[in-house]
Structure 1
Amino acid sequence: MSYQSDDEQVQLLKNLWKDYGQPVILGVAITLASVSGYKYWQKTQSQQIAEASSLYQNLLDTVQVDQQNQLAALSLQSLTEEQKATVNHLVTTLQSDFEDSQYAAFATLFLAQQQVQDGQLEAARASLEWVLAQKPAPEVNTMATLRLARVLLAESGENGQKALDLLTGLTSEKTYQATVESVKGDAWLALGDRVKAGQAYQTAVDAARENGQNRPLLQLKLDDLAAMAPISSNEQKSSEQEG
């Protein structure tokens, strides 16, 4: 067995460092940076969620809404001018700083509801389109789409086809089927097609019953449609041709 001199060992270490040391250190550095970066990202995400949650809580506090069933309660609120100013500020902040959060989506849905109550249909449409542009969770997407379709119909009966196009591309759970079909019926009625409107309302009534939902307004729509002048043969043929 031969032994290397001290000089030979030093040279060998130098060669090993030259060939392997720097890549190894670089790999370690990259790994450490990745771990550190991921931890920083996690911390940042947690902070952002907390901040967005705090802003949304401020909105709830502003309109004095209980935590339970927030959207339903929020939609019934009539706000003072001071409350409206605060809500607008909070929603704008959530949209600009936390646009990907569900808090921003829920806050904007509430804002749109208030805008509808104030007769600001164009502003409400813009708010709902903002929510949909963020590609929110399926339930929020369904809610925003339905409300946008209603706003379009409220703006003008000529928007009936736009409303139908929105709803046709909507994938929703069975719990929303009755509402979707009801709004479709409204759109068909706006377009003057009472046959398809009646079919949509009937589908809505059937879906509500199947899901155990008590929706008397759906039956009322169907009854009101039946109380109109009888559908002429021309209307029937026109509807069948379009279908």
Structure 2
Amino acid sequence: MASHLDLEEQEQLEQFKAFWNRFGNLILWVLLIVLSGYAAWNGWQWWQRDQAAKAGGVYDELERAVQAGDADRAGKVFADLQSRYPSTAFAEQGGLLAAKAQSDKGQADAARTTLEWVASQAREDEYRAIAKLRLAALKLEAKQPDEALRLLDGLPESFAALAADRRGDILLAKGQRAEALAAYQQAWKGLDEGADYRRLVEAKLVSLGAAPEGGTPAAAAEGASK
């Protein structure tokens, strides 16, 4: 019985040796690739966490500069954030924050440059859309209505109402009253009934003599006062 088992074990061993001689190198290579991929993935995850943590520290510094009303400092900190951590969400958020500070301080050129970076480089659709909406307003102020209009093309559906309102502002500035009214009406219909921004759009319609049906008295009064 023992001899039979020894022969069976020997046969299994020989089969394993034959199998290993045939596929051993392939198995080792597969294991090496899997383990290397796992190590690389862990390394990438660690690098991303490290970058996010460091970018968060720079973003905090940017927030402090904005709160202090120091647009120059905000611009410098954002430039650091942009160059060192451009792929992080903090860089996208920081661009919007820095641009607002720059715009509030009358640094229109700097604000446009900052927003152009966010509009072209941000990974999140929402950040790109916000940057384009704000940039369109600055382009309008700079007497560049056609460029402003082009920025509103192709925005996500969730921003359609806001884009329509901005389009109305631009068209009105160009003297295209009928087209502006149509854009404002689109914006008013697309905004939630309880949204404060809807009242602002309604006031614009009222001021143009096109109060929407079902509008609010407060918005009508606001439009009449303009």
Give TM-score scaled by structure 2 length. 0.74
- Paired position in structure 1 for 2:196: 214
- Paired position in structure 1 for 2:218: none
Farther off after superposition, 135-144 or 187-196: 135-144
- Supply the distance in 2 between the matched residues of 1:112 and 1:62 (Cα, whole angstroms): 12
Tell whether the 8 Å contact from 1:161 to 1:191 is kept in structure 2 after alignment: no
- Paired position in structure 2 for 1:167: 152
Q: 2:81 corresponds to which letter in structure 1?
A: L
1:196 and 2:179 aligned: yes
- Supply the distance in 2 between the matched residues of 1:206 and 1:25 (Cα, whole angstroms): 64
1:44 and 2:27 aligned: no
1:123 and 2:110 aligned: yes
Give 4+ residue runs of structure 1 displaced > 6 Å after superposition.
15-18
- Paired position in structure 2 for 1:29: 32
- Supply the distance in 2 between the matched residues of 1:161 and 1:150 (Cα, whole angstroms): 12
Tell whether the 8 Å contact from 1:59 to 1:90 is kept in structure 2 after alignment: yes
- Paired position in structure 2 for 1:89: 76
Report the secondary structure of 1:170's partner residue.
Answer: coil
Query: CA 1:223 to 1:16, structure 2 compared with 1: closer, same or farther past 3 Å?
Result: closer
Query: CA 1:164 to 1:206, structure 2 compared with 1: closer, same or farther past 3 Å?
Result: same
- Supply the distance in 2 between the matched residues of 1:26 and 1:217 (Cα, whole angstroms): 65
Query: CA 1:126 to 1:223, structure 2 compared with 1: closer, same or farther past 3 Å?
Result: same
Tell whether the 8 Å contact from 1:138 to 1:172 is kept in structure 2 after alignment: no
1:14-70, CA deviations, whole angstroms, 9 ceiling, x for partnerless residues?
A: x98765444333332222211111111111111111111222122223444xxxxxx
- 1:108 shift after superposition: 0.6
| Correspondent of 1:103 among 86, 90, 107 | 90
Matches within 5 A, 1:223-234: 223-226=206-209
User: How many residues align structurally?
Assistant: 199
Matches within 5 A, 1:142-153: 142-153=129-140
- Supply the distance in 2 between the matched residues of 1:166 and 1:85 (Cα, whole angstroms): 26
Report the secondary structure of 1:168's partner residue.
Answer: coil
| Correspondent of 2:61 among 49, 58, 62 | 58
- Supply the distance in 2 between the matched residues of 1:46 and 1:167 (Cα, whole angstroms): 34
- Supply the distance in 2 between the matched residues of 1:121 and 1:196 (Cα, whole angstroms): 28
5+ long unaligned stretches in structure 2: 8-12, 211-226
- Paired position in structure 2 for 1:240: none
Q: 1:171 corresponds to which letter in structure 2?
A: P
Question: What RMSD, in angstroms, separates the aligned Cα atoms of the two structures?
Answer: 2.9
Q: 1:211 corresponds to which letter in structure 2?
A: E
1:79 and 2:79 aligned: no
- 1:106 shift after superposition: 0.9
- Paired position in structure 2 for 1:73: none
Query: CA 1:85 to 1:125, structure 2 compared with 1: closer, same or farther past 3 Å?
Result: closer
Query: CA 1:161 to 1:97, structure 2 compared with 1: closer, same or farther past 3 Å?
Result: same
Tell whether the 8 Å contact from 2:129 to 2:155 is kept in structure 1 after alignment: yes
5+ long unaligned stretches in structure 1: 4-8, 65-77, 228-243
Report the secondary structure of 2:196's partner residue.
Answer: coil
Tell whether the 8 Å contact from 1:108 to 1:131 is kept in structure 2 after alignment: yes
Structure number with the bigger relative contact order (C-alpha 8 A, sep ≥ 6) is: 1
1:205 and 2:208 aligned: no
Query: CA 1:62 to 1:161, structure 2 compared with 1: closer, same or farther past 3 Å?
Result: closer
1:181 and 2:164 aligned: yes
